[in-house]
Structure 1
């Protein structure tokens, strides 16, 4: 039934009931209205208005309210349940149209995000290659020149040149570290497990211990899924190191009999505290959408934060 006829019939039902009461033997009105009769009429009108408001609110416009709430809370980077299509008519058609629009927008956003992230990865590889090949080689040459000069300089000047050597060597190590983070060479060469172990070692510093537990015999993943897993682990550890004040963290990679590979990043920090999601979390959600993975954030078993990513293995996945 359409919204128009639903509201019309509800109102008509209230009016018919009121007329039946007035025409029946239970309610009578004299030619000269008395106070008691006026009170009856006013009370009846008030009751009709209340009943009409309740019927329209909870029966006539309830589907529109549910649809309005769904429109208000819709988020294209979260896989949420669609509002149910109830009955037929304009509201049902509107709900179906809204669900179809969400499906189309999610598909378009996923395709757009895939192109953007692909371009980002290509740019990261270019920058990492330039840092490693050009800046790295230049600093290596500077190191050799400093060593050559230090070996032939007087003692006092030689000490200063050696300090410059150490500073240059530290800068070279930092550039190589940045290049590794921009372009995970271990992921391409040795696979996801080795890359995650190296990532745990990279974030292990004084005051923060990062452990890794990676199951053996994990099912093969396609390169895109492996990159998504690695980048989400990297972003989660970066957020943890910056904001959580944690002293312990864990990377867990495991598979289930249901054909799902699950990544867990846990820490014992202060947690999110109900803070809204920042760009880092939304970026992780966008990456998860690329592979149809399920990503969730919550409280960890150690009182900190837990990031959970589950990727279903498809029959066409390759190592």
Structure 2
């Protein structure tokens, strides 16, 4: 005959049996132990009764703690679960009521993670499409208009004889040229054409140069040769994470330098951003970091942040690849 597992017993009967064991033990003690109660109660008898009651209460508390431990674990997991760190599951054993509850909770987490991933994918795809449209309009319309204005200012400056007016027109040309450069830079940030034309390494090199030039922050970059072929979406995820990470360093880290590395080991492609700034400290993750985590999940990757106060921050994006060197979708990785 197969023994009944403890975890297969419903929670009600488990609590009932635990309390029954305690009460039966107390009854047996009163029936067979050479203990009597006088009237009035003697001090020694009162001590025996109090000790016996304490023993029963402690035994009952311990047994209930053991019986309700799975529910405590479930409660803690529900309070701390984060869908941006997928794979958080409780162990399942047996067939009891608590086990069925835990299994249902794990299945609910899996559905929520899948639905969130699908929703994020649609939202980020729409966002990239809108960025592409705005970038194209900035380049084709605003950029061309500023170029035409720049040419008209040059022709006007060449025709006038007044040196003061010519100086004013030349100043207007410089202002227009600076505005045109800003528009082109914004268009590149919205949709990096170099990523589509020349690939990830060239796009990251251009990004590092741009951050160094405009933020005055030295960006040392190192890219391991022989990078496996990645699809367009994965390259875009690597680029956006690098862009957000470097922008955060330039704006908030108070760093003097930052290192950007891209490497692979045959199983994973890893992007690493490390600065020497003030670190994250006790600050909560903002929308930028959560956006990076959402992008990482789109390609089955994992994003890790490590920081200590005054010791800088390290952002690591890791994406698994298959044995042939291409990207493989394996679902969200376990935390």
TM class, shorter-chain normalised? over 0.9
Q: 1:270·1:304 contact (CA, 8 Å) conserved in 2?
A: yes
- Classify the secondary structure of the residue corresponding to 2:18: helix
2:206 to 176, 198, 204: 198
- Classify the secondary structure of the residue corresponding to 1:204: helix
**Aligned ranges for residues 164-243 of structure 1 at < 5 Å?**
164-205=172-213, 207-243=216-252
Q: How far has the Cα of 1:30 moved from its partner?
A: 4.1
Q: Which residue of 2 aligns with 1:264?
A: 272
Question: Where does structure 1 differ by over 2 angstroms across 4 or more consecutive aligned residues?
Answer: 25-43, 314-318
Between the two proteins, the alignment pairs up a number of residues equal to: 315
Q: Is residue 135 of structure 1 aligned with residue 109 of structure 2?
A: no
Q: Which residue of 1 aligns with 2:315?
A: 307
Distance in 2, Cα, partners of 1:91 & 1:208: 55
Q: 1:2·1:88 contact (CA, 8 Å) conserved in 2?
A: no
Q: 2:229·2:325 contact (CA, 8 Å) conserved in 1?
A: no
Q: Which residue of 2 aligns with 1:125?
A: 132
**Aligned ranges for residues 28-67 of structure 1 at < 5 Å?**
28-30=36-38, 33-57=41-65, 59-67=66-74
Q: 1:262·1:309 contact (CA, 8 Å) conserved in 2?
A: yes
Distance in 1, Cα, partners of 2:99 & 2:183: 58
- Cα distance change of structure 1 residues 151 and 204 upon mapping to structure 2, 3 Å threshold: same
Distance in 2, Cα, partners of 1:152 & 1:233: 48
Q: How far has the Cα of 1:207 moved from its partner?
A: 4.2
1:288 to 276, 291, 296: 296
Q: How far has the Cα of 1:27 moved from its partner?
A: 2.2
Q: Which residue of 2 aligns with 1:159?
A: 167
Deviation string 1:121-160 (CA, Å, 9 cap, x unpaired) is: 0000000000000000000000011111111122111110
Q: Is residue 9 of structure 1 aligned with residue 17 of structure 2?
A: yes
Q: Which residue of 2 aligns with 1:71?
A: 78
Distance in 1, Cα, partners of 2:20 & 2:33: 21
- Cα distance change of structure 1 residues 27 and 86 upon mapping to structure 2, 3 Å threshold: farther
- Classify the secondary structure of the residue corresponding to 1:253: strand
Q: TM-score, normalised by structure 1?
A: 0.94
Q: Is residue 87 of structure 1 aligned with residue 118 of structure 2?
A: no
- Classify the secondary structure of the residue corresponding to 1:308: strand
Q: 2:146·2:176 contact (CA, 8 Å) conserved in 1?
A: yes
Q: How far has the Cα of 1:274 moved from its partner?
A: 2.6
Q: Which residue of 2 aligns with 1:20?
A: 28
Gaps of 5+ in 1: none
Q: Which residue of 1 aligns with 2:330?
A: none
Q: Is residue 106 of structure 1 aligned with residue 109 of structure 2?
A: no
Gaps of 5+ in 2: 1-8, 328-335
Distance in 2, Cα, partners of 1:86 & 1:39: 43
Q: TM-score, normalised by structure 2?
A: 0.90
Q: What's the C-alpha RMSD, in Å, of the aligned pairs?
A: 1.7
Q: Which residue of 2 aligns with 1:116?
A: 123
- Classify the secondary structure of the residue corresponding to 1:75: coil
